[in-house]
Amino acid sequence: MELTELVDRLDDELRTDDYADLDASANGLQVGPDETEVEHVAFAVDGVDATFERAIDVGADALVVHHGLSWGGFDRVTGRTYDRLEPLFENDLALYVSHLPLDGHQELGNAAGVADVLDLENRTPFGELGPEYIGQRGTAADAYSPDELRKRLEDSLETGGQPVQSLEFGPEEIDEVAIVTGSGTDWLDEAVDAGADALVTGEGKGKAYHEAREAGIHVFLAGHYATETFGVRSLQELVEEWGLETSYFDVPTGL
């Protein structure tokens, strides 16, 4: 498959253009030649030295990640930026990035993956960002206690051995759950307005403690990395259906 075809297919599935004015990440193809053949695509959460090296070791032609290299562009290609780009150029490794489009995808996205883990039903988009959404909410098939929900997350997510933190200020039974992966506590008020008993996200901000306490809602902090492995894994399955060889690299940060 030509790289341009792979990029076009991914952009269409993820509606990359719809997030162009909403996301600091330069989504789509960040590094790559105009024309090249792709047979092997690697997948990882982060576009960093560790994942570049693994992709090169397996002979991948392209690497698809959630967190890329360009956040608002490069002023200079020097220092650490140069060091990260150099192996891509030297090994003809293309880099494709999908940040908020992959968060917001209601079937393949990160929040959808967490909702699968929690067996949520009656799902709807959640986490408004302009005209788009970056999360999902739904109803638990069976109500959770706070301990049960935390344990389900710890047992199912790649937390790097770290516990799931929780701010337990909500009801004894959790039925309605809102999800924004990564750093999502800015959507706590929206979760409250939506009638959620709990907000599940990756990492928090200091103000979230008192906001959750005053609003009477649970907040579960399951790790930025741990909540964002689902999207790239779903894309891997999709690309395999397109007939390409794939690899996935798990490089948990514990954060």
| Same domain, yes or no: 66 and 119 | no
Backbone angle region of 92, left / alpha / beta, with phi > 0 → left and psi within -120 to 50 → alpha: left
| Same domain, yes or no: 32 and 82 | yes
| Same domain, yes or no: 83 and 145 | no
Quote the CA–CA distance of 205 and 80 in Å, as a whole number.
27
73-87, 135-149, 177-191, 206-220: range with lowest mean pLDDT? 73-87
Q: Report whether 228 contacts 202 (CB < 8 A).
A: yes
70-74, 120-124, 133-137, 247-251: range with lowest mean pLDDT? 70-74
67 annotated as a binding-site residue: yes
Q: What is the mean pLDDT of residues 91-102?
A: 97
Residue 248: per-residue pLDDT: 98
Specify if 115 maps to a domain.
Answer: yes
The alpha helices in 15-78, defined as continuous H runs, are 49-57
Q: What is the mean pLDDT of residues 178-192?
A: 98
pLDDT band at 186 (very low <50, low <70, confident <90, very high): very high
Residue 73: per-residue pLDDT: 80
| Same domain, yes or no: 151 and 92 | no
| Same domain, yes or no: 79 and 186 | no
| Same domain, yes or no: 199 and 127 | yes
Specify if 255 maps to a domain.
Answer: no
| Same domain, yes or no: 221 and 136 | yes
| Same domain, yes or no: 51 and 108 | no
Q: What is the mean pLDDT of residues 200-214?
A: 96
DSSP code of residue 251: -
DSSP code of residue 202: S
CATH, residue 145: 3.40.1390.30
Element holding 8 (H helix, E strand): helix 3-14
pLDDT at 173 over 90: yes
pLDDT at 34 over 80: no
| Same domain, yes or no: 194 and 212 | yes
Residue 161: per-residue pLDDT: 85
99 annotated as a binding-site residue: no
Residue 254: per-residue pLDDT: 86
pLDDT at 12 over 80: yes
Residue 167: per-residue pLDDT: 97
**Residue that the structure tokens 């790239």 belong to:** 232
Q: Angle at Cα 223 formed by Cα 222 and Cα 229, nearest 5°?
A: 100
| Same domain, yes or no: 127 and 218 | yes
Tens of pLDDT, residues 215-231: 999 999 999 999 999 99
Specify if 254 maps to a domain.
Answer: no
Say how many domains are in the chain: 2
Specify if 253 maps to a domain.
Answer: no
Residue 76: per-residue pLDDT: 82
pLDDT band at 81 (very low <50, low <70, confident <90, very high): confident
Domain housing 145: 103-227
Q: What is the mean pLDDT of residues 9-34?
A: 95
pLDDT at 74 over 90: no
| Same domain, yes or no: 139 and 188 | yes
66 annotated as a binding-site residue: yes
| Same domain, yes or no: 158 and 239 | no
Residue 78: per-residue pLDDT: 86
Residue 179: per-residue pLDDT: 98
Percent of the chain with pLDDT over 90: 91
pLDDT band at 156 (very low <50, low <70, confident <90, very high): very high
